[in-house]
Chains A and B, each alone.
Chain A
Amino acid sequence: MSHGQNFSRRDFIKISSIFLAGSAAVTTATGHAFSGADDQVGDEGSRVVYSFCEHCFWRCGIAAHVRDGKVYKITGSEHHPLSQGKLCPRGTGGTGLLYDPDRLAHPLIRETKGGRQFYRKASWEEAISLVAEKLWNIKEEHGPGALAMLHHGYGVSFFKNMFSQIGVNKYAKPSYDLCCGPARQASVLTYGYPSDTPEGFDMKNSKYMIFFGTHFGENMHNTAVQEISDGIRNGAKIVVFDPRFSTLAGKAEHWLPIKPGTDIAMMQGLMHVLISENLYDKAFVEAHTVGFDELRDSVMEMTPEKVAEITEIPADAIRTIAREYAFHAPAAFVHSGRRTNWYGDALQRIRAIHILNALVGNFWMPGGVVAFKKFPLVQPPAAHEHPAYEKEAYSKYPFFPQDEPSNTITSHEIIEDTIAGNIKGLLIYGVNLPETMTLGRDKAIEAMKKAEFVVAVDVLPAEVTGYADVVLPECTYLERYDDLDNGRAFRTPFVALRQPAVAPMYDSKPGNEIAKMITEKWGIHGAFPPSVEKGLDRKLKLVGSSLAEIRKKGVLVMPETDLYRKPGESLNLKTPSGKVELASAQLKAAGFDAVPKYVPQPEAPAGFYRMLTGRKPMLTFGRTANNRFLGDLATAKENEVWVNNRIAEKHSLQNGEYVHLKNQNGVVSEFPVKVKVTQRIRTDAVYMVHGFGHTSAKLTWAYKRGASHNQLISRTDIDPAMGGVGFQNNFVTFIKEA
């Protein structure tokens, strides 16, 4: 092997532009694909390819309109239940990714010459051989436990299949830790089944929707936004607890600028009013829940007056909302939110939300909490698909899921394990690790430098690719097949197809081919079907359909399911008690609180402000950071730091001026960020959208736009029960430009 250098100390390499798609000529040519130089409007002479989106986890159905071998427009699929012909802005932005002039065009291999590290262009054969050899050697030398995969995106199933062939089973999706994990496990612990996407709330039929800090509308979750809109049209009232006047708060009958970090106290206060004023649904609580007495005792002291002191929301408002909530129940709910893992207490926080729902008896009721169903794909025998696995799950956290084949360990455990030297080889699929909130930027970089071998599979030269030994350019979701998607549950269960709208551009390949090539290089044949099409067809034949059939509409849809419980019906939940668990014996047995309890969060040092985060509706953090089609709008070009007008005055900040931010540990933002002076935020917090401030110069659009929220995360709070990562105990102050 000629690549004998020791790469354990790995420098960041700026990928030379000659390996990227965008020579000047290409930039111009592809630029036109979404800026449109021709006069022709309308769809004459085009064809429509139905697929599903990859710009966020929601995975809406899309219709890619193709003419002359180019995707010129992406609209919402009218057949797909999650889009119903509609699409969020990011979904339209597939063209911006597909024709991104910065795309990775060739496999790259790290070289060292004269002490200098650089990438050289490689053939697929050479790159695959190197990856296969390195991974194999690590497995042979240290066992399959020394290899791990961090992944984000729907193409991962092929790499999971690849790794499982050699017994590797350490897979982490950072989205579990940062986003959906607490909601999933809180639902498991309370209802006995995991939460889903879309979340199980009958929004369009609801009369009263309470949201804690989640901001639909800025989180453009297509279906959810559609249903909230239906609800508003049907006269629903909205209540929003949020330190910031979000877009959703702008729709609210009541906006309550709650002190950050005190949500659980507020929830306890609402429970207190429901119970002390006898507003809760006694019949439901008696018949279908366990642990009411323990719950009642735990909120006894959380009077509105006490909660008002903690949350800085007047006691009267707390009473009003509890009463209105009970009045509208069961067509009322408290939403469990999305990416609300802020303080490492999200499991209990979302449990408190589920309890608030159970108390008013909205479980499986119109306008309340519902359980959407998934399309029952027939899976091959599941029990031990991969007998070579060492374990089913590796996480040390007691309430980490044991039944998610693609999620067997938290991402921060992988990072810590790699830093500790236990994990030697990393495959990073679609995760821009340095800008992912997992443990902050420094730890991510430290782990990647420490690993013996890092392979990055990506579409763009994101920061993470600069730390890899081999970079494998995957084609975009518009150029490939992926596995069938029956992972989404909704009113009409469905299975969706991802299919290519155009052939892969440059020298990029679909994930399914890359994984197959590596596997076969190991001498393992037959792990993958002869072609991805044949594999999909075989799966579809098992449910009486075919690839040819699903290709037409991109989706197979079942009739609408009945979501509501019948009077007198037993729920038969899969919790230990078979009922909704207000108090959780499981949590108690593991040494945690059986019912949620408010624990104060640290306060900001003087002159510092709690750093809150969120997103812009047209962007999905890193996924869209370099998308110049989406980045084109005036509000999409950079992030701002929102500062309350009184705080701005105190620091003599002008609206529109640029400042650097410094956090409590002295970390100063690499790039300046624009100040937005506003009344829309409390005086104890600032807000900035995540996913900006990129440091990779090869992301020619994203580079130096705004400031990185991730860079300013120095402190993380890990949920001791389920392993989620909270990052909102970080505080910043302003450094004015000289």
Chain B
Amino acid sequence: MSNKKNYGMVIDTRVCVGCSACVYACKQENHVPEGYCRDWVVQETGGEYPKLTMENRSERCQHCDNAPCVTYCPTRASHYAEDGTVQVNRSLCTGCKACMAACPYDARFVHPEGFVDKCSLCQHRIEQGMETACVSICPTGSLNLVDFNNMDQKAKQLLSGKVVYRQKEHAGTEPSLHWISASNKPGA
């Protein structure tokens, strides 16, 4: 057990249907303006007819442990928070967009009010012991908020024995989102 938190997510793409409830819940929770989103859903199809395969994923900022956005931010607006997440301090952000160029996940955008915005992992909710808006609403239970410094039984069980990956791991960003691959066989 560690007193220091290190929040991230385990996303089970085996069950995700790409419904986008997570996206709308986030838009309402975080007042994301029309035409913008902090999280989004990707549906990938591969193979050749009729042997097709599919993966649905809810994507967002990866809250990297080695975040290029933080590295390249000239003003410390993008920073690591105590809980292991990456946050943007709006009152320091000049909107230079270096972080956007730096992010291998294209997770950020310029808010119309003139600062760079992205998923906060609902820091304001986590602080109060709640789950993120997207995790709370997800009908499939695909989204799981996990403190990787203090993994509970449920999270461990979820990850055990399955093909789990992280996106663009070779970018060296140490992302905090872990994906249970849709390529897992039933009962894996």
Which residues of A are in contact with B by a Cβ distance under 8 Å?
Answer: 31, 34-42, 72-76, 85-89, 91-93, 95, 216-218, 220, 222, 225-226, 228-230, 232-233, 235-238, 245, 247-251, 253, 255, 257, 617-618, 628-630, 632-636, 644, 678-680
Most chain A beta-carbon neighbours within 10 Å: one of B35, B49, B142, B182? B49
Q: A238 vs B54: C-alpha distance in the bound complex, in angstroms?
A: 14
* Segment touching A, from B12-20, B63-71, B97-105, B170-178: B12-20
Report A-chain residues with C-beta under 8 Å of the C-beta of B47.
679
Is the C-beta of B109 less than 8 angstroms from some C-beta in chain A? no
A22 to chain B, nearest CB (A): 15
Q: A-B pairs with the 6 shortest C-beta distances?
A: A36-B31, A250-B54, A217-B17, A235-B187, A617-B19, A229-B15
Kindly specify which of B2-10, B77-85, B131-139 makes contact with the partner chain: B131-139
* Contact B17–A617 (Cβ < 8 Å): yes
A618-B53 contact, Cβ under 8 Å, with A75-B137, A220-B19: no
Q: Which residues of B contact A253 (CB under 8 A)?
A: 186
A34, B34: Cβ atoms closer than 8 Å: yes
Residues of B within 8 A of A85 (CB): 136
- CB of A73 within 8 A of CB of B139, answer no
Whether A225 pairs with B17 at a CB distance below 8 angstroms is yes
7 of the cross-chain contacts (CB-CB < 8 Å) are A39-B90, A76-B139, A93-B24, A245-B54, A251-B15, A630-B24, A679-B49
Given A238-B186, A257-B50, 14 new contacts (CB under 8 A): A34-B28, A35-B32, A36-B30, A37-B31, A72-B28, A86-B137, A87-B139, A88-B139, A91-B21, A93-B24, A220-B139, A235-B186, A245-B45, A680-B45
A245 and B136 form a contact (CB under 8 A):
no
Please tell me if the beta carbons of A42 and B124 are within 8 angstroms of each other in the complex. yes
A87 close to B140 (CB less than 8 A): no
A236 to B186, CA, bound (A): 6
Most buried by A among B18, B35, B182: B18
Docked-complex contact A250 and B20, CB < 8 angstroms: no
Smallest CB gap from B54: residue in A: A250
Q: Knowing A85-B136, A86-B139, A87-B137 touch, does A633 contact B20 (C-beta < 8 A)?
A: yes
User: In the bound complex, how far is the Cα of B23 from the Cα of A93, in angstroms?
Assistant: 11
Within B138-167, the residues touching A (CB, 8 Å) are 138-142
Residue numbers in A under 8 Å from B125 (CB-CB): 42
Contacts of B20 in A (CB 8 A): 89, 617-618, 633, 635-636
Report if B74 contacts A (CB, 8 A).
no
A309 to chain B, nearest CB (A): 17
Instruction: Look across to chain B and name the residue whose beta carbon is closest to the beta carbon of A236.
Output: B186
**Residues A618 and B45 in contact in the complex (CB < 8 Å), given A31-B34, A250-B56, A679-B52:** no
Which residues of chain B have C-beta atoms less than 8 A from A35's C-beta? 31-34
Find out whether the CB atom of A88 lies under 8 angstroms from the CB atom of B19: yes
The reply to whether the CB of B48 lies closer than 8 angstroms to some CB of chain A is: yes
Q: How far is the CA of A74 from the CA of B54 in the complex (A)?
A: 30
A36 to B37 Cα, complex, angstroms: 12
Is A632 touching B18 in the complex (CB atoms < 8 A)? no
B21 touches A92 (CB 8 A): yes
Which residues on B sit within 8 Å (CB–CB) of A251? 14-15, 17, 54, 182
Question: Contact at B15–A232, with CB atoms within 8 Å?
Answer: yes
Chain A residues, CB < 8 A from B12: 233
Q: Tell me which of A88, A235, A644 contacts B21 (CB under 8 A).
A: A88
- Chain B residues with CB under 8 Å of A678's CB are 45
CA distance A637 to B20 in the complex (A): 14
B29 at the interface (CB under 8 A from A): yes
Kindly state the separation between the CA atoms of A617 and B21 in the bound complex, as whole angstroms. 9
| A250 with B53, Cβ < 8 A, contacts A42-B125, A217-B17 known | yes
Kindly provide the distance from the CB of A701 to the nearest chain B CB, expressed in whole angstroms.
11
Chain A's nearest CB lies how many Å from the CB of B86?
17
B75 is an interface residue with CB less than 8 A from chain A? no
Taken together as a complex, chains A and B put the C-alpha atoms of A675 and B55 apart, in Å, by 22
Shortest distance from the beta carbon of B156 to any chain A beta carbon, whole Å: 15
With a cutoff of 8 Å between Cβ atoms, the chain B residues found around residue A245 in the complex are 45, 49, 52, 54
Q: Is the CB of A250 within 8 A of B45?
A: yes
CA distance A85 to B52 in the complex (A): 33
A72 and B28 alpha carbons, distance in the complex (Å): 7
A93 to B21, CA, bound (A): 10
User: How far apart are A198's CB and chain B's nearest CB, in angstroms?
Assistant: 13
**Does B25 lie at the interface of the complex (its beta carbon under 8 Å from any beta carbon of A)?**
yes
Interface pair A226/B34, CB less than 8 Å apart = no
Looking at the assembled complex, report how far the CB atom of B50 sits from the nearest CB atom of chain A, in whole angstroms. 5
